[in-house]
Amino acid sequence: MTAPDPLAGDPEVARLLAEELDRQQTTLQLIASENFTSPAVLYATASVLTNKYAEGYPGRRYYGGNAIVDAVENLARQRACSLFGAEHANVQPHAGANANLAVYMALLDPGDTVLAMRLDQGGHLSHGSPVSITGKTYRFVAYGVTPAAADGTGERIDLDQVADIARRERPKLIVAGTTSYARIIDPAPFRQIADEVGALFMFDAAHPAGLIAGGAHPSPVGIADVVTFTTHKTLRGPRGGAIVCRADLAKAVDAAVFPGLQGGPLEHVIAAKAVAFAEAAQPAFRTYAADVVANARVLAEGLAGEGFRLVSGGTENHQVIIDLRTFDADLTGQSAQEVLDRAGITCNRNQIPDDPRSPFVTSGLRLGTAAETTAGMGPAQMTAIARLVGTALRAPDDAGVRAEVREEVQALCAKFPPYDVPATAASPATLSVGPVAGSRKGAGTGG
C-alpha cells in the first residue's frame, strides 16, 4: 500500500515540489555551494520539531515542553564538537551569514576594524561588503589575491598583503575564508599574523567544512579562535549555519546568536544538522571528501582542455572558477550561466579577481563538484561535463547544439539520479515525510 500523499490537498505546492525534484534529478547541479542531502536529513528537516518554540539554549529555555528539543540540540552540539574536535558549538544560526554576524557581535564593538577578503577577490558579502550589515557596522579593511601568473601560481591569498595591512591597521579581528576560491586555505599563517598584531582570528569554513570534516583539507579548529560554517555545502546537511569556538568564547558567541540576532531556533533543522554531523563522521564521508576534490581536479583539467582559463590555474577543493574572457571576450558570466541553464547545466556566475564587470554581470563562472559526487559521478563524468560546458559555450546562440547538450546531460543524469525515485515522482513529499520512500543514490563513491 502506498502512503497517502500529504500534499494531495494542495496540488499547486505539490506540483512545484515535484517539478523541483524533477529538475534536480534530470539536470546537472554544479553550484559549488549546493549538495544533495540524505533522505534522513530531509526527514528530520520535515519533522514535527518545526512546531516547537525553543528560544534560549538547552536547560535555559523561555518556553515549556522543551525536554526533547534540549536533547536534540545537545546531541547536535556534541556531534559538532566531536566531528571538528571543538570545545563548544552553537548550532542555532539560520545561515552562514548569521553565524558570521554573530561572531562579529560577540567579539567586536561597532566601528572596530576587521581584516577580511574583498568580495571580488573571492570573499563573502558578510566579510564586510558595503551593502551588508557587516560592512555598515564594522570598519572592514580588505586583502586580496596575488596577481594572475601565466604558470598558474598566481591568484592565491596574498599573505604578504594580509600581514602588511594587519600591521598598518591593527584590526581587532582577522577573517580567513572565501566563497569563490579554489585553493586550500592554510589557517597557520593567519594565526601567526593575528598573534603578531594582537588580533582575534575567525575562519569562515562555509565552503570547505565537509572537506575539513572528511580530512581532505587542514582543520582550522584549535588554530582559529572561532570557526563558522554552513551545514549545506560540502558538509551535505540541511540549509543552515553553525559556529565552533574555544570554551572561553562560548558565552559571548551564544549570547550574540540568541538573543543578539535570532529568535526561536529551527529545531527541525538542528535535528537534521545532528544527522548530518553523524553522517560526516562515518568513514564513507572521508572517501566522499577525497572524491569531491579528485573530481574537481578532473573537471578543471577538462575545462582547461576546452580552452578555458581557470582562476589560480586549477583547484585543490570542490570549486573550479572559470575566467571567460580569454575563451570569448563577449561572453559574460551572466549569459554563460543562462546558456548552460538552458542546456541543463546549473551553475552560477561569479566575479573573478579584479573583474571589470559588475557583480551582476561578471566575467566568471563558478562550478562545484560536491553535489554530483554525492550522486555518484566520478572522473569519467567530470570529463564529459567539461566537454559539454565547452560545447555549449562555444555556440551560445545555437539552439541545435544546446538541444544536443541537453540530451546528453539528461542521459548522464538518468544514470546518476541523486534520489532513488522515478524522475516523474507524483510528489517529492514522499522523500521527506515519513515513511521515507526514496533513498539517495551514489553517496559519493565517485564510481
Footprint of ligand DSN (CB under 6 A) = 33, 124, 179
Task: Between 33 and 228, name the residue whose CB sits nearer to ligand DSN.
Answer: 33
Given the residues 134, 230, 231, 374, select the one marked as catalytic: 230
Task: Between 124 and 309, name the residue whose CB sits nearer to ligand DSN.
Answer: 124
Question: Residue 127 Cβ, how far from ligand DSN at the closest point, in Å?
Answer: 10
Strands 139-143 and 113-117: parallel
Q: Which amino acid is at 337?
A: Q
Given the residues 191, 233, 309, 402, select the one marked as catalytic: 233
Given the residues 5, 10, 22, 55, select the one marked as catalytic: 55
Q: Which three cell numbers stand for residue 60?
A: 535555559
Given the residues 34, 120, 204, 225, select the one marked as catalytic: 204
Question: Residue 173 Cβ, how far from ligand DSN at the closest point, in Å?
Answer: 20
Given the residues 52, 61, 236, 239, select the one marked as catalytic: 239
Task: Between 191 and 207, name the residue whose CB sits nearer to ligand DSN.
Answer: 207
To the query of whether residue 62 is one of the catalytic residues in this protein, the response is no
* Contact between 133 and 139 (Cβ < 8 Å): no
Question: Residue 97 Cβ, how far from ligand DSN at the closest point, in Å?
Answer: 7
Task: Between 73 and 323, name the residue whose CB sits nearer to ligand DSN.
Answer: 323
To the query of whether residue 233 is one of the catalytic residues in this protein, the response is yes
Q: Which three cell numbers stand for residue 285?
A: 564521508
Residue with cell 553535489: 371
Task: Between 24 and 47, name the residue whose CB sits nearer to ligand DSN.
Answer: 24
Given the residues 53, 286, 394, 404, select the one marked as catalytic: 53
Alpha-carbon gap, residue 424 to 410, rounded angstroms: 13
Question: Residue 165 Cβ, how far from ligand DSN at the closest point, in Å?
Answer: 24
Cα dihedral angle (308, 386, 231, 212), rounded to 10 degrees?
Answer: -80
Strands 364-368 and 200-204: unpaired
Question: What angle do the packed helices 333-342 and 379-394 form, to 10 degrees?
Answer: 110
- 288 alpha carbon, distance to own chain's centre: 15
Task: Between 340 and 429, name the residue whose CB sits nearer to ligand DSN.
Answer: 340
Omega cis (within 30) before 259: yes
Question: Residue 296 Cβ, how far from ligand DSN at the closest point, in Å?
Answer: 15
To the query of whether residue 408 is one of the catalytic residues in this protein, the response is no
Q: Which three cell numbers stand for residue 33?
A: 555551494
Question: Residue 318 Cβ, how far from ligand DSN at the closest point, in Å?
Answer: 11
Residue among 133, 137, 153, 135 at smallest CA distance from 145:
153
* Contact between 83 and 277 (Cβ < 8 Å): yes
Q: Which three cell numbers stand for residue 222?
A: 584549535
| Residues identified as active-site | 53, 55, 204, 230, 233, 239
